[in-house]
C-alpha cells in the first residue's frame, strides 16, 4: 500500500485520488480491478475534449506511472477537465500531483484546472493545510483499498451517471 516520506512519493495514481474524492466505493471497485470507466460515454467525451483542447500547449507528462500532467508551463501544472461538477475531486487530484512532486523534491509549482468548454480556470496551490488534507486522505484511501469489503455509501446525485452504478445499486 501507499506510504510516503519526503524522498518517497505515495503509490496512488491521480485517478485513484480523484475517485476517492468523488466516491470511496468507486475507488474500492477500481483498486480491486473493476474498471468500468472505459465503457462510459461521459469518459469518452471527456477524453475527446481533453485531446482537442490546448493542442499547441499539450505535452502530457507521465511520472512514474502514477501521475499524468496535461502540461507544465512557467511553473504551473495544468489539468484539463470537461466540467466543474466535481470540482473538489479535480482540485484534490491536482493538489495530489503537487504533493507527489514535492515528495520527489520538486517544489515551487502551482496548479491550474482548465475547463475549456466553460472557458474558465481555477488556480490551485499546495498550502500546509491542503498538504495535511492530502495526507489524511491517503491514510483513508489505504484503509479503503486494503479492505475486503467495499465501503457503504449513500446514494448521491452523481450515482445515476456513474459507470459503477449497476454494481452499487443494480
Check which CATH number belongs to the domain holding 116 and give it: 3.90.320.10
* pLDDT (0 to 100) of residue 145: 97
pLDDT single digits (tens) 63-72: 999 999 999 9
* pLDDT (0 to 100) of residue 8: 66
* pLDDT (0 to 100) of residue 161: 87
Structural domain harbouring 140? 14-169
* pLDDT (0 to 100) of residue 2: 44
Q: What phi and psi values does residue 155 have, to the nearest 5 degrees?
A: -60, 135
pLDDT single digits (tens) 48-66: 555 566 555 557 899 999 9
Residue 9 lies inside a defined structural domain of this protein: no
Residue 92 lies inside a defined structural domain of this protein: yes
Number of domains the chain contains: 1
Residue 23 lies inside a defined structural domain of this protein: yes
Residue 160 lies inside a defined structural domain of this protein: yes
Residue 8 lies inside a defined structural domain of this protein: no
* pLDDT (0 to 100) of residue 1: 43
State the average pLDDT for the chain. 88
Q: The pTM is what?
A: 0.85
Residue 162 lies inside a defined structural domain of this protein: yes
Residue 149 lies inside a defined structural domain of this protein: yes
Cell of 11: 503509490
Residues of the chain with pLDDT under 50: 1-3, 5-6
* pLDDT (0 to 100) of residue 91: 98
Residue 52 lies inside a defined structural domain of this protein: yes
Amino acid at each position: 500500500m501507499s506510504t510516503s516520506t519526503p524522498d518517497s512519493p505515495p503509490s496512488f495514481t491521480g485517478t485513484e485520488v480523484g475517485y476517492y474524492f468523488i466516491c470511496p466505493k468507486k475507488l474500492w471497485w477500481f483498486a480491486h480491478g473493476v474498471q468500468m470507466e472505459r465503457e462510459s460515454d461521459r469518459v469518452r467525451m471527456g477524453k475527446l475534449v481533453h485531446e482537442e483542447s490546448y493542442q499547441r500547449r499539450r505535452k502530457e507528462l507521465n511520472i512514474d506511472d502514477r501521475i499524468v500532467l496535461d502540461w507544465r508551463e512557467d511553473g504551473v501544472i495544468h489539468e484539463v477537465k470537461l466540467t466543474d461538477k466535481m470540482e473538489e475531486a479535480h482540485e484534490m487530484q491536482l493538489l495530489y500531483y503537487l504533493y507527489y512532486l514535492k515528495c520527489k523534491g520538486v517544489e515551487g509549482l502551482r496548479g491550474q484546472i482548465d475547463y475549456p468548454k466553460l472557458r474558465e480556470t481555477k488556480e490551485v496551490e499546495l498550502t500546509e493545510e491542503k498538504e495535511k488534507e492530502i495526507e489524511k486522505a491517503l491514510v483513508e484511501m489505504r484503509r479503503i483499498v486494503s479492505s475486503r469489503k467495499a465501503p457503504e455509501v449513500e446514494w448521491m446525485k452523481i450515482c445515476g451517471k456513474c459507470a459503477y452504478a449497476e454494481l452499487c445499486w443494480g
